[in-house]
Amino acid sequence: MVCRTRAIYGCSGTELSPEERAFFREAQPWGFILFARNVSQPNQVKALVSSLRDTVGDDQAPVLIDQEGGRVARLRPPHWRTHPPAQRFGDLYRSDPEAARQMCALNARLIASELFDLGINADCVPVLDVPVKDADAIIGNRAFSNDPEIVTALGRTMVDGLLDGGVLPVIKHLPGHGRANADSHLALPRVGALESELRVSDFAPFRALNDCPLAMTAHVVYTAIDPDRPATTSETVISDVIRGWIGFDGLLMSDDLSMKALSNSFGERTRAALDAGCDIVLHCNGALSEMLDVAAEATLLEGQALARAERALARLRPPKPFNAEIANGRLNECFGAAA
C-alpha cells in the first residue's frame, strides 16, 4: 500500500499534463481540488477526476471543490445550475425558519447531486463565518447571516444535506473569518476583538458543528489569542481554540497556501501549518514549481492525522433517494428563476 502525504493540490487545466501526472504519482497527495480553470463540461470533469485518482491509485481519493452558490461557484451554467448565495436562506429564516431550512436542505441536495454525478466527493461548504459591520466584503453574502444562531441552524442543514447526497462538507473558515478587515487572498487580516466576544459570535457556529468531518482554517490573526501568527500557522489558536474550546476533532486542512496572507517560501508555509496542528495543507493554484516546494515538506499522513482522515472518509455514504427536478422547481418558486 502506498502511503499518502499531508497535502491537497490543484492542477493547471482541464486535463493533466505529463508533468502533473508524474508529480502526483511521486507526491501521492491525500486529495485534489478543482477550480473554474479545470471545468468545461461534464464528461471532461469526470475524465479529469478519474485521471487525478488514477495518479494515486485510489478511486475514492478526495476530490474537493468550492461550490457554495452565489459568486463562489466553480460549476456554472449552461451545464450546471445557478445556486443562491447563502445569505438568501438566512434572510428567509428571519421570517420563516422552517421554510428556510427546507430550501437550504433542497439546495444542499441539488449541489451534492451535481457533484456526485461528476465523481467529486467533498465540497468546501458551509461557510460558518459571522460577518460584522465594516468588515472586508470577502465573506459578505457567502455567509448565512450576521446572527450566529441562524448561521448554526442553516449550517447544520447544509452539512446534513450534503452528507445525505454522498458528499463530504468542509466547514470554513475556522475559527471565523467574518470579522476580518482584509481579504486574505490579498493581505493578512487582523482581528482585535476580545476572545470572550469571539466565543459568543464568531466561534459559536463552529463549536455547535464541531462533529463535522472536515474543516478549513482561516488565514486571520486574532490578536487576543496569538498576536503574531494567523490561525493556519498558530499552534495556540489550533490547540486552544479549534481543538480546545471549539472542540473540533475532524480533519483540519489549511486554507490555500498560495494566498497572499501568508509569507515566506512554500516549504516554510507548509512546515508552519503542519507544525501548528493542521492535518493537511491545501495548495490551489496549480503552479507546479510551488507544489514541488510544498511536497518537499508535506510529510506522510500518519498518526492522529491519518485517523482523522479515515474517519472523515468513513462518513461517505450512497445518496439517499432524491428528485432533483422537483427540488429545483421548489427553489425556483421560493427564490425565482435566479435560484
Question: Which residue's C-alpha cell is 496549480?
Answer: 286
54's CB contacts (< 8 A; 6+ apart) are none
195's CB contacts (< 8 A; 6+ apart) are 222, 224, 225
C-alpha cell at 135: 468588515
C-alpha cell at 284: 490551489
- Distance, CA of 239 to CA of 322 (rounded, Å): 40
Dump pLDDT digits (tens) for 74-119: 999 999 999 999 999 999 999 999 999 999 999 999 999 999 999 9
Out of 96, 185, 211, 275, pick the active-site residue: 185
- Distance, CA of 76 to CA of 83 (rounded, Å): 9
pLDDT at site 86: 98
- Distance, CA of 76 to CA of 193 (rounded, Å): 37
Total-model pTM: 0.96
Out of 129, 136, 202, 255, pick the active-site residue: 255
Determine the residue type at 265: S
Determine the residue type at 237: V
177 part of the active site: no
pLDDT at site 1: 44
What burial letters (b/e) apply to 147-163, b meaning 16+ CB within 10 Å?
Answer: ebebbbbbbbbbbbbbb
pLDDT at site 2: 63
Dump pLDDT digits (tens) for 298-328: 999 999 999 999 999 999 999 999 999 999 9
Length of the chain: 339
Helix axes 288-297, 18-27, angle to 10 degrees: 10
147 part of the active site: no
Low-confidence ranges of the chain (pLDDT < 70): 1-2, 337-339
What domains are there in the chain, each with its CATH number? 5-9+19-29+48-54+68-335 (3.20.20.300)
What angle is formed at CA 56 by the lines to CA 51 and CA 57, rounded to 5 degrees? 85
